[in-house]
Structure 1
């Protein structure tokens, strides 16, 4: 029964793709300017990278969807203030967080050249950075939910895009006293392969 349902679902999806106004499958890569906003993190954006695959599926001339799967790197610097009997000092540690990000974007095609992308993104933390462990516990939650907004230039098979991701969930896994939220600016290029 499961095989029959899976076969039927596959045929329906393939039939839907055949009737699409526009369908493309491709790869993409670029740079990130990211920061974690919160009291324990250094203020300011740091550089990271992202790479992955995208699918474009337009239902008509103006509306479609664009699901993606991305490796997404967030670099940050933690800071902690400590004092002893005679002095006060601040210590910092660099940390690297690697996420598997899955944005599901609405495509609004202004014209053939310009597309606006908006939608949710869920990211799964793939590494637990050892420099972000406090009191024997991982400091960062394993999932992050964000909102995405951006623009994309469509130059034949080439895509040039920029977007802003703002974290909606608190990724602090130690306490609820401090809210930590991801922010990210992405710039990159993509190539349609189908």
Structure 2
């Protein structure tokens, strides 16, 4: 299923590139304040990072498609559980994702751009365990909705966005649902 979705995203990006009125490439770096929503995890956002690249395909003066390829880290803390034996309470969990957001950019002038779209993520450290009794605790991928804005100052882009996971990322059978959430803040630099 993930291969089909990624293939469709590639086709949409390719067709947008073919009809693009403008094209640019750049790099991104920033902070990823992420958490895993679920009864087994401590509530609150934890600091991680995000690093990657983007392409912007202008369709008109006000609309563009912006596919990205980002490496992001989500950190969380495991809480105590009474029904299954997992890691001891207070254990840190580090999830490294390869994120592929495909964003619709809506320009509200030269300075401000609103962004929204889907994000497809692949868990890079699938072998993340929560103790000896549980094997792989997290599913290999995630789908999220992205909503954000960016300020465009010359070749610099200052952005902020909210990502909310749409599916259950728990691979533990007798578990509550786990969903990802993240606030991302960072800088983009137009290279080409």
**Superposed pair shares fold, TM > 0.5:** yes
Mapped partners of 1:17, 1:131: distance in 2: 40
Matched residue of 1:128: which SS? coil
The structure carrying a bigger strand percent of its residues is 1
**How do 1:23-102 and structure 2 match up within 5 A?**
23-81=23-81, 91-102=89-100
Mapped partners of 1:181, 1:158: distance in 2: 32
Q: Which moved more, 1:176-185 or 1:65-74?
A: 176-185
What is the Cα deviation at residue 28 of structure 1? 0.4
Distance 1:16 1:188, change over 3 A: closer
Q: Which residue is 1:110 aligned to?
A: 108
Counterpart contact for 2:95–2:128, Cα < 8 Å: no
Matched residue of 2:120: which SS? strand
Counterpart contact for 1:69–1:100, Cα < 8 Å: yes
What is the Cα deviation at residue 81 of structure 1? 3.8
Correspondence for 1:169 among 167, 170, 173: 167
Where structure 1 has 5 or more consecutive residues not aligned to the other structure, the ranges are 1-12, 84-89
What is the Cα deviation at residue 132 of structure 1? 2.5
Name which one, 1 or 2, has greater alpha-carbon Rg: 1
Matched residue of 1:173: which SS? coil
Matched residue of 1:80: which SS? coil
Distance 1:17 1:120, change over 3 A: closer
Once superposed, what is the RMSD of the aligned Cα atoms?
2.3
TM-score w.r.t. structure 2 length? 0.84
Distance 1:100 1:14, change over 3 A: closer
Aligned residues: 176
Structure 1: which 4+ aligned runs deviate by more than 2 Å? 13-22, 128-136
- Spell out, residue by residue over 1:30-63, the C-alpha distance to the aligned partner (whole angstroms, 9 max, x if none): 0011110001100111000000000011110111
Mapped partners of 2:16, 2:137: distance in 1: 43
Q: Which residue is 1:156 aligned to?
A: 154
Where structure 2 has 5 or more consecutive residues not aligned to the other structure, the ranges are 1-12
Counterpart contact for 1:110–1:116, Cα < 8 Å: yes
TM-score w.r.t. structure 1 length? 0.83
